[in-house]
Amino acid sequence: MAVLRHQVRPGAYLDSIVLMQLQAALCAEPGIRDSAAVMATAANLAMLTSSAMLPARLEACGNDDLLVVVAARDADTGDAALGQVDALLARRSAPAGNDDALPPAKSLREARRRLPEATWAAVSVPGRWAAGVAREALENDLNVFLYSDNVSVQDEISLKRSAAARGRLLLGPDCGTAILGGIGFGFANDVRRGRIGLVGASGTGLQAITTQVHDLGAGVSHAIGIGGRDLSQPVAGAAALRALALLAADAATETIVLVSKPPAAAVARALVAAALGVGKPVVVCFLATAPPIASVANLTFAPGLEQAADLAVAQDAAASPSQVEDALFVGGNLRALFAGGTLAFETLAQLRLFLPVHANLALEGVEPLTDPASSCGHTVLDMGADELTVGRLHPMIDPDLRLRRLRQEAKDPSVSTLLLDVVFGSGAEADPAARLAPVIAELRAARPALEVLVLAVGTNQDVQGKSEQITRLEAAGARVYSRLSAALARVIARTVDPLCPVADTDALAAPRVINLGLESFFHSLIEQGATAVHVAWRPPASGNARMTALLAAMRSTP
């Protein structure tokens, strides 16, 4: 039967990678059947209990104390193995080519003195300390790669506001991947440099796209991970918007990929507006969200990671991005009046990513109209809905109600764009243009800046004669489309205000890094040729929460 021997080292914090290496090294010692090297948290003590590795007479210890346990063939063998802990820690493998690396610093302040040109802090300390370490890094004028998880939303919002106020960039928390200036942070892959820049709230998503870009023969300028919560409603895309601005201003980036799990609706609209304003081709991939439209202006939408990589490489290889019509942003509201309910629904499904839309149809991300007889902001109306056809013929047969509604909407000075469908075929109005064209001409004469877009659904074999109907509607001043996507591209180009983001940080220059937390991340930075200093981080005040709060208060006092 194995004998358990143990050792407690109060306040001797070691990161999880070092603990794993120590545990493996102890297991390799003669006569040792099992070992554990853990911080003495409640969860770790429970784990030791379940594996029969918790010593029976364990002295009092806490979250920031190191507990080393060995299961040995006898007590002497166990004690001998524990006596090797310091030597085993000293023998931990150093990274190749690290002869010139600076020795560990004892604090961020000391590391800043040693590397005054530092531009980044890589933070991977335990979550309960991470916000404080990140805040100190920002106060030292550093951008922050925050790998740590278990940081509160409130702390994330506060940190990102502080970063923005200082002209810095904070990536994370729970940011697993980034490639900045050719240097990989966290779990990044070795990919060739190139002209495709990425912004991602999905760490493995960034890895999947960057590696496929590499396999397709193209390369990556930068891959900016922003953390999984950045596109939530409370955080509001703070890091994503700044990252887009950086890539827009970056001369080495010609094509941008934006990838994330489904963002909050308002955040998605802000991101799309920012992407429209960057002046470069942007591939948008919101996972588990059906692409609303194939492309509009400089944006192309991808349904998945592989397609995003394919589209980015294809766009990068093109001489110039494909553009839609030469429409300029004019602002104002859209009023879309549909005879076809399915066409109205499809329009909503596509436009909700770009605009805050109201409707008399129910769809997630769409605000319901309180009164179908009165539009609000951007409105899409199914005029064939039951509440609007009581005692009336369907608008595909009798256009009277829709014509009156067109005049009503045109009188609203906030309206810049009208969109309607004209559906041909048997049973439909025999000559739609006869009544619609004069109304369009009337509205355009009264307000020349008002644009009327018509989606024509039918064929030349229909009794109405599609081509002849289109000719008459265009003569009246309408812009007529046979594809809904083309009509919506025009709507988006007119009504979505590009944010035209501006960057003012050196975050994408060759990074010079202060590493706090996982020593393996420091080794990786050095092996990639980065200039870096590792901080031998320890919990402040030996993990005493009360003393830590007192020290933080003293530090913030002028």
pLDDT in tens, 498-537: 877 666 667 898 999 999 998 889 999 999 999 999 998 8
Whether 346 and 220 map to the same domain: the answer is no
In three-state secondary structure terms, 536 is coil
Task: Take residue 59 and report the two structure tokens written for it.
Answer: 């002295």
Q: How many CA atoms lie within 13 A of 453 on its CB side?
A: 26
Place of tokens 């201003």: 249
Residue 544 has what pLDDT?
Answer: 52
Per the CB < 8 A criterion, the answer to whether 433 and 469 are in contact is: yes
d(CA 498, CA 203): 27
Q: Is residue 184 part of a domain?
A: yes
The pLDDT tens digits for 92-105 are 544 444 444 557 89
Tell whether 307 and 338 lie within a shared domain.
no
- The CB-based long-range contact list for 368-375 (8 Å cut-off, 24+ gap) reads 375/333, 375/335, 375/409, 375/412
**Which residue among 67, 90, 113 closes a domain?**
90
Question: Is residue 19 a part of any domain in this protein?
Answer: yes
Q: Is residue 541 part of a domain?
A: no
Domain boundary among 264, 287, 317: 317
Q: According to the model, what pLDDT value does residue 542 have?
A: 52
Shared domain for 376 and 286, answered yes or no, is no
Give domain status of residue 556, yes or no: no
User: How many domains, in total, are found in the chain?
Assistant: 3
Q: How many residues does the chain have?
A: 558
Residues 343 and 482 in one domain: yes
Q: Determine the Cα angle at 408 with ends 402 and 414, to 5°.
A: 125
pLDDT at 154: 96
Residues 162 and 318: their CA atoms lie apart, in Å, by: 39
- Backbone phi, then psi, for 213, in 5-degree steps? -55, -45
Q: Which residues have a Cβ under 8 Å from the Cβ of 336 and sit 6 or more positions away?
A: 344, 347, 379, 380, 381, 418, 419, 420, 491
Same domain, 290 and 374: no
Q: Tell me, what CATH number does 206's domain have?
A: 3.40.50.261
Q: What are the contacts of 392-396 at 24+ separation with CB within 8 A?
A: 394/339, 395/339, 396/339, 396/340, 396/423, 396/427, 396/428, 396/429
Tell me how crowded residue 225 is: count the other CB atoms within 10 A of its CB: 33
Residues 179 and 301 in one domain: yes
R_g (Cα) of the chain, nearest Å: 31
| 173 upstream amide cis, omega within 30 of 0 | yes
Q: What is the pLDDT of residue 397?
A: 86
Provide the whole-model pTM. Answer: 0.81
Asked if residue 216 and residue 248 are part of one domain, the reply reads: yes
Distances (CA, A) of 44 to 34, 48, 62: 16, 6, 11
Nearest to 301 by CA among 352, 258, 271, 261: 258
User: Residues 340, 488: one domain?
Assistant: yes
Q: Supply the pLDDT for residue 405.
A: 94
Considering the domain architecture, whether residues 337 and 295 belong to the same structural domain is answered as no
Res 293: pLDDT: 82
CATH number at residue 66: 3.30.70
Half-sphere exposure of 17 (CA within 13 A, CB side): 13
Residue 192, domain extent: 175-317
Token couple for 473: 């509607």
Contact, 243 vs 212, CB < 8 A? no
Q: Determine the Cα–Cα distance for residues 224 and 186; give it in Å rounded to an integer.
A: 11
Q: What is the DSSP letter of 105?
A: B
Q: Does 540 map to a domain? A: no
Q: Rounded to whole angstroms, how far apart are CA atoms 512 and 494?
A: 43
Is 484 contained in some domain? yes
Residues 366 and 480 in one domain: yes
Chain centre distance of CA 416: 32
Same domain, 313 and 364: no
Residue that is last in its domain, among 90, 120, 136 = 90
E strand intervals along 52-207: 66-72, 120-123, 143-146, 170-171, 177-180, 183-186, 193-200
54 domain-assigned:
yes
Among left, alpha and beta (phi > 0; psi -120 to 50; other), residue 514 is beta
AA letter at 370: T
CB 243 within 8 A of CB 168: no
Do 346 and 453 lie in one domain? The reply is yes
Structure tokens at 418: 């009208």
Residues in the chain where the model's pLDDT stays below 70: 92-102, 319-327, 501-505, 541-558
Identify which of 174, 170, 172, 176 has the alpha carbon closest to the alpha carbon of residue 189: 176
Task: Identify the pLDDT of residue 382.
Answer: 94
